[in-house]
Structure 1
């Protein structure tokens, strides 16, 4: 999907679209167009912030979509939350969706009279839910690791008695 998006739409987000949300002096650490497009892909693929940042770092199709070099190391996942907060603070939260819809319409990918959802709160709520689920699962995984280090025999006995799938569910990091 990322490759098709880049091939059909080109570079969707220009940094000037978000200029009012960033200070005029100095230079932004990252192009605002990158987290905007990452947010679109994040919603399309139903990824948490961590998973989306990992996709930017590791997936060649996302690097192509974002116009990044193959060696680009990506960014910390917290950039996405800060970017969304900045958009909301400056009243630009619907700008991302508007630009995607305008670009798709200009390419003939949308028909007039159709229904487009413009509710950015749903997108933010879905991302927030994924992040919360990831935090809960990571907390449980960390607790099991602490138990394994502090009382390995008790944990082994408890897991054997209860016949749970905790190890399968929480043995690896949730975002992997």
Structure 2
């Protein structure tokens, strides 16, 4: 059975470079690893415990089911104003509940990202690691990919065709899968 990794993309933009990173993960997944991109983050309302009951928020139920079925999570974090976007934080919030038993609890989490700036969104990625860890995820600190100047790199060529991404993505996914196998 392959290691199943669920990718959460923190951008809704149709040409999102972080979406392209997630698509590159699907394309370059090594043998024995399967990557699925979760498609419903736009439908999630902001987390509110008053509405958090099974069946009340179908998008949250779908996210939790997908994360629960996955062996690991791959967060693709863009950087908005020096931090991770609310979309990704909100998804982590939904996955963290009920606290200590949420779909992220104990789940290996890798964080990667691309940004237009010279540092490739490292602040947003650091935020995502911190929040995922506090939410109960088992953040794999050694998994890092910060793609700077993504507009220059990916506007003309999809991330899956970028040589650096094509070479690094299988290593990243293998490292995340190895953590899953070690924890099994």
* TM-score of the superposed pair, with normalisation by structure 2: 0.28
* TM-score of the superposed pair, with normalisation by structure 1: 0.29
Structure exhibiting the larger radius of gyration computed from Cα positions: 1
- More helix as a share of residues: 1
